[in-house]
């Protein structure tokens, strides 16, 4: 009997140890590295050790839980599996099923990142793109197993899945046994349930902080009400934690094990992604960067501590990467859009370009607008898109344009 077939709701450390034995095959799950980030350590005034789980096969932790469940079910005679996922669980189930010699059908939302759709197919699954949101996708996936011998593999509400994810917690403890605080993203709660169960068993004094994206936040209200609360819709760039709800099982474990839950905005996540690219040379998706966004926020006090943020996923679609980088650079004022009101006369554009150029900034586009309602006859707007060294240089450029007698607006919008 597998854990998911038992009547027990809880997941024990012994369950996680048994899962660890099943995952003792680096073709399916490898031990991912840990790397100290001195740059992030300087930002928080402590020591930061990044758990690089985004370097896992399939690019996320999901393979751990999927293989722990599927390997047991295949041994019990199941040979067909169905799952619903925005991408990371999809790849974990696909790889686990293929490695175990079973078939898998994965339902993904129509808007799922193409990189995750392609990777899921490459791991051997049949992919169905269904629904405009995860709830519709989930309903369809669950309908596929009705009246069949197929097994539905839930992304987080399953003891075997949680125990598999918990093997990551054992690794994290042994990677950095002196960690004061571990920071873990929360979607449906399976990851933090498993990781916290392992770490609290091995090191009860270690603080565990959970992180949700603001546009998919459900844990605070669920804890307040004592029952899972689901969102009708989610809105976040961190699609890997955009489940819109947790389960009774994961809520119970979160309530018991987690010391604090914080939320981070999409802007904070974008900043963290860019910072990890620049300083740690790591490419992570929104869900994976949420833990770093949290330790950089004002809501988490980790000064003087040894901190381990979990980078849980690295499946970042390249079009999303472009969007995030532009957003983060705009937020930093390294990409600047200025609208300057001028008398539409020869030489004005050259004069303004000279002011920008004198600062060493680069104008990469300029637009000349005359047909704007609030302009007088003979006036125009020049809209400059400028690459700068940052907020200080951007402010100096604006000041010099104003000193030259031109009304100027910063219309940069990171949103």
**Structure confidence at residue 342 (pLDDT):** 96
Q: Could you give the domains of the chain?
A: 3-60+159-328 (3.40.50.1100), 63-152 (3.40.50.1100), 332-410 (3.30.70.260)
pTM, two decimal places: 0.90
Local structure of residue 107 (DSSP, 8 states): E
pLDDT category of residue 112 using cuts at 50, 70 and 90:
confident
Which range among 27-41, 67-81, 102-116, 339-353 shows the weakest confidence by mean pLDDT? Answer: 102-116
**Structure confidence at residue 203 (pLDDT):** 98
Q: What is the mean pLDDT of residues 187-207?
A: 98
Please check the confidence at residue 1 and state whether its pLDDT lies above 70.
Answer: no
pLDDT category of residue 283 using cuts at 50, 70 and 90:
very high
What is the spatial distance between Cα 402 and Cα 333, in angstroms, rounded to a whole number? Answer: 18
What is the spatial distance between Cα 173 and Cα 155, in angstroms, rounded to a whole number? Answer: 24
Q: What is the mean pLDDT of residues 375-379?
A: 91
**Structure confidence at residue 217 (pLDDT):** 97
| Angle at CA of residue 205, ends 203 and 209, nearest 5° | 95
pLDDT category of residue 169 using cuts at 50, 70 and 90:
very high
pLDDT category of residue 373 using cuts at 50, 70 and 90:
confident
**Structure confidence at residue 4 (pLDDT):** 40
Alpha helices in 300-347 (DSSP H): 318-331
| Angle at CA of residue 299, ends 297 and 301, nearest 5° | 90
When comparing pLDDT for 193 and 317, which is higher? 193
**Structure confidence at residue 151 (pLDDT):** 97
**Structure confidence at residue 87 (pLDDT):** 81
Q: What is the mean pLDDT of residues 58-79?
A: 97
Question: Mean of the per-residue pLDDT values for the chain?
Answer: 94
Please check the confidence at residue 152 and state whether its pLDDT lies above 70.
Answer: yes
> Could you give the strand order of the β-sheet that contains 126-129, starting from the edge strand earlier in sequence?
126-129, 103-108, 80-84, 151-152
Residue 277's nearest CA partner among 312, 218, 321, 221 is 321
Q: What is the mean pLDDT of residues 281-303?
A: 97
Please check the confidence at residue 9 and state whether its pLDDT lies above 70.
Answer: no
């Amino acid at each position: 009997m597998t854990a998911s077939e038992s009547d027990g709701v809880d997941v024990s450390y012994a369950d996680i140890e048994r899962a660890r034995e099943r995952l003792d095959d680096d073709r399916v799950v490898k031990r991912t590295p840990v790397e100290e980030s001195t740059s992030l350590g300087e930002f928080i005034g402590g020591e930061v050790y990044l758990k690089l789980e985004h370097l896992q096969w399939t690019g996320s932790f999901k393979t751990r839980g999927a293989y722990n469940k599927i390997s047991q079910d295949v041994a019990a005679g199941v040979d067909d599996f169905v799952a619903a996922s925005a991408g990371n669980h999809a790849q974990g189930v696909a790889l686990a099923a293929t490695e175990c010699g079973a078939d898998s059908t994965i339902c993904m939302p129509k808007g799922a990142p193409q990189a995750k759709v392609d990777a899921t197919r490459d791991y051997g699954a049949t992919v169905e793109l269904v629904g405009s949101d995860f709830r519709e996708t989930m309903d369809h996936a669950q309908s596929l197993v009705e009246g069949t011998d197929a097994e539905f593999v839930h992304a987080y509400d399953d003891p075997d899945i949680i125990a598999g994810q918990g093997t990551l917690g054992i690794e994290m403890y042994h990677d950095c046994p002196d960690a004061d605080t571990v920071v873990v993203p929360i979607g449906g709660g399976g990851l933090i349930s498993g990781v916290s169960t392992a770490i609290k068993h091995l090191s009860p004094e270690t603080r565990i902080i959970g992180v949700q994206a603001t546009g998919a936040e459900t844990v605070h209200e669920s804890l307040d009400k004592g029952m899972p609360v689901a969102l009708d819709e989610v809105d976040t760039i961190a699609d890997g934690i955009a489940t819109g709800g947790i389960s009774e099982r994961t809520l119970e474990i979160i309530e018991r094990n987690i010391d604090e839950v914080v939320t981070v905005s999409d802007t904070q996540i974008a900043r963290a992604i860019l910072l990890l690219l620049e300083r740690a040379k790591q490419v992570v998706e929104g869900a994976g960067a949420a833990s770093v966004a949290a330790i950089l926020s004002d809501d988490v006090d980790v000064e003087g501590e040894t901190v381990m943020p979990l980078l849980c996923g690295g499946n970042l679609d390249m079009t999303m990467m472009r969007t995030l980088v532009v957003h983060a650079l705009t937020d930093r004022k390294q990409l600047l859009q200025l609208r300057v009101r001028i008398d539409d006369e020869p030489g004005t554009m050259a004069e303004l370009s000279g002011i920008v150029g004198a600062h060493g900034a680069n104008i990469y586009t300029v637009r000349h607008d005359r047909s704007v309602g609030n302009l007088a006859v003979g006036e125009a707007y020049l809209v400059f898109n400028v690459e700068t060294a940052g907020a200080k240089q951007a402010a100096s450029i604006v000041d010099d344009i104003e000193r030259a007698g031109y009304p100027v607006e910063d219309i940069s919008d990171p949103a």
